[in-house]
Amino acid sequence: MGIVLIWCLAVILIRWITSKRRGAISYDSSDQTALYIRMLGDVRVRSRAGFETERRGSHPYIDFRIFHSNSEIEVSVSARNVRRLLSFQRYLRSSRFFRGITAPNSSNILDDDYNGQAKCMLEKVGNWNFDIFLFDRLTNGNSLVSLTFHLFNLHGLIEHFQLDTMKLRRFLVMVQEDYHSQNPYHNAVHAADVTQAMHCYLKEPKLSKSLTPWDVLLSLIAAATHDLDHPGVNQPFLIKTNHYLATLYKNTSVLENHHWRSAVGLLRESGLFAHMSLENRQLMESQIGDLILATDISQQNEYLSMFRSHLDRGDLCLENANHRHFILQMALKCADICNPCRTWELSKQWSEKVTEEFFHQGDIEKKYHLGVSPLCDRQTETIANIQIGFMTYLVEPLFGEWARFSNTRLSQTMLGHLGLNKASWKGVQREQCGSGDDADPAFEEMDSDILPQEPRLS
Ligand SMILES: *[C@@H]1O[C@H](CO)[C@@H](O)[C@H](O)[C@H]1NC(C)=O
Ligand SMILES: *[C@@H]1O[C@H](CO)[C@@H](O)[C@H](O)[C@H]1NC(C)=O
Ligand SMILES: [Zn+2]
């Protein structure tokens, strides 16, 4: 009975949603091969507060299966909305314990047990060893919603900003659902992991004593949304396939701009901050943008040299809001690429996932003769090579500076794991190919669209 009702509602909802859509648009690649990239949905124009946001669910899918029949696209849109609806139901069910409403006759005793364990894990949400993969399983795939909601509560944001908890939950479910679960790496679990890392950094003494609730609020929202609607391919891929996002953002921080605008779209749609003044909402949107845009890895050199000169001069003053926000940008950058600073067990899993995503892009590039991007060729690359290059040219320089800024036990722990993990990958590398212990040369050859030209650590 309940299920039938949900299905009826779902069907009505989907009819309504699909009837509002403009439908699919197809884009030809400049490449002569039969490469078609279809995007579903459109970009909703909302000029109310200054700029247009990306439409929720515009999800720049690069789906090569669906370019023949229109009916399949309808199916795909419907499936997505059903998934969203069911996911919300699933979330509500699994979150009884978080809401403190226990249903004694719950149909599934195991659910309750998992909830109990997840709740237990949240007591240690500030531990650097927090196992987000386990937490995701225990929450039935709702790690991002559960973790972020918990952190909002823990930091007193719900009370301080008078947030409607139902709206907050809906907002977080929408965020979680707009990540692509089929991406091996850039999915909601990565977002949850980054949010957890951000929480660890916010607790560091230097930050915690100067941050305002507003800073914490923006940091958590930016962390949770920083890769929203990520298509699972990188910017050079979007540029060379003439993806509409590359055009829209003029080949510059294409993905990060999309993540930001998508986040703003969800913020407005959820009405979570509708009770705040327009000025505050606009300020929030632009500051979240500054944080998300800082995660563009091709801009790392600029951020890093600014950070370095502040540290050299010793002139960072965290009573100054601009300085605080700069530090939060650096913190989010660290959170985003902290995988190699986790324990080997966690770090190794992330390495496998990100490589799988790279190689998947490489497979598509090969198939359509687009030229295989650096690090994406499964014939010539290995996880170990990629990781060693990533650590050497990006992670070590960033975390080295971070430890200068915040020389704490956490920073030492992170650098410790980083060293051990790099040694482990070097061991793997030696086993695989005898002698080589150099970092992947691809990191050095890359053009600035993909990675910064790091100063060579020779
Ligand atoms: C649970 O089920 C038991 C047995 O069916 C029943 O006695 C009890 O009233 C139910 N309680 C709830 C909360 O449904
Ligand atoms: C983006 O890059 C493509 C490919 O290099 C180029 O054709 C296009 O003109 C660029 N667009 C802008 C706005 O720079
Ligand atoms: Zn990320």
Residue 232 inside a domain? The answer is yes
Count of structural domains within the chain:
1
Q: What is residue 433's predicted lDDT score, i.e. its pLDDT?
A: 77
Tokens describing residue 253:
């921080």
- Encoding tokens for residue 197? 């890392």
Tokens of 447: 């053009």
Q: Ligand 1 in contact with 105 (CB < 6 A)? A: yes
Q: Does 15 reside within a domain?
A: no
Give me ligand 2 centre to Cα 250, in Å: 7
Instruction: Say if residues 222 and 47 touch (Cβ distance below 8 Å).
Output: no
Task: Look up residue 336 and give its two tokens.
Answer: 């985003």
Residue 52's nearest CA partner among 261, 258, 221, 280 is 261
Q: Compute mean pLDDT per 10 residues along the chain, 458 residues long, and list them.
A: 55 47 32 27 33 54 40 49 56 50 50 82 97 96 96 97 96 96 97 98 97 98 97 95 94 97 96 98 98 97 98 97 98 98 98 97 95 96 97 98 98 98 97 64 49 38
Write out pLDDT tens, residues 79-99.
Answer: 555 555 555 555 555 554 444
- Full residue range of the structural domain in which residue 332 is found: 106-164+175-450
Q: Is 212 in the pocket of ligand 2 (CB under 6 A)?
A: no
Q: What is the CATH number of the domain that holds 231?
A: 1.10.1300.10
C-beta neighbour count of 431 within 10 angstroms:
9
Please state, in angstroms and rounded to a whole number, the distance separating the CA atoms of residues 180 and 227: 10
Q: Is residue 82 part of a domain?
A: no
Residue identifier of the C-alpha nearest atom 11 of ligand 2: 250
The pLDDT of residue 448 is 41
Measured CA to CA, the distance from residue 279 to residue 301 in angstroms comes to 32
On the CB side of 188, CA atoms within 13 Å amount to 24
How far does Cα 453 stand from its chain's mean position?
24
Is residue 89 assigned to a domain? no
Q: Residue 317 and residue 309: Cα distance in Å, rounded?
A: 14
**14 domain-assigned:** no
Would you give the DSSP letter of residue 232? S
Give the HSE-up count for residue 52: Cα atoms under 13 Å, Cβ half-sphere: 9
From the CB of 104, is ligand 1 less than 6 Å away?
A: yes
Q: What is the pLDDT of residue 111?
A: 60
Q: Is residue 83 part of a domain?
A: no
Which atom, in ligand 2's list, is nearest to the CA of 246?
Answer: 1
- H or E segment at 308? helix 300-313
How many angstroms separate the alpha carbon of residue 392 from the centre of ligand 3? Answer: 19
Q: For position 378, what pLDDT does the model report?
A: 97
Q: Is 160 a catalytic residue?
A: no
For 193-306, strand residue ranges (E) read none
> Cα separation of 359 and 382, whole Å?
10
**pLDDT for position 69:** 35
Residue 105 alpha carbon to ligand 1 centre in Å: 6
| Catalytic residue from among 59, 150, 186, 310 | 186
226 labelled as ligand-binding?
Answer: yes
Ion ligand 3: residue ranges with CB closer than 5 A: 227, 336
Residue 455 lies in a domain: no
188 is in an annotated binding site: yes
Mean pLDDT for the chain? 81
Nearest atom in ligand 1 to the alpha carbon of residue 104 is 13
Taking a C-beta distance cutoff of 8 angstroms, is the pair 223, 7 a contact? no
Residue 162: other Cβ atoms inside 10 A: 10
Ligand 2 pocket test target in 235, 239, 257 with most atoms within 8 Å of CB: 239
Nearest ligand to the C-alpha atom of residue 101: 1
pTM of the model: 0.77
- Ligand 1 mean position to 102 CA, how many Å? 13
pLDDT at 113: 72
Q: Is the CB of 251 under 6 A from ligand 2?
A: yes
Residue 417 lies in a domain: yes
Burial class (CB in 10 A: 0-12, 13-18, 19+), 369: exposed
CB of 68 shorter than 6 A to ligand 2? no
Residue whose token pair is 């700069």: 326
* Residue closest by Cα to atom 14 of ligand 2: 250
Residue 11 alpha carbon to ligand 3 centre in Å: 34
Phi then psi for 37, rounded to 5 degrees?
-120, 125
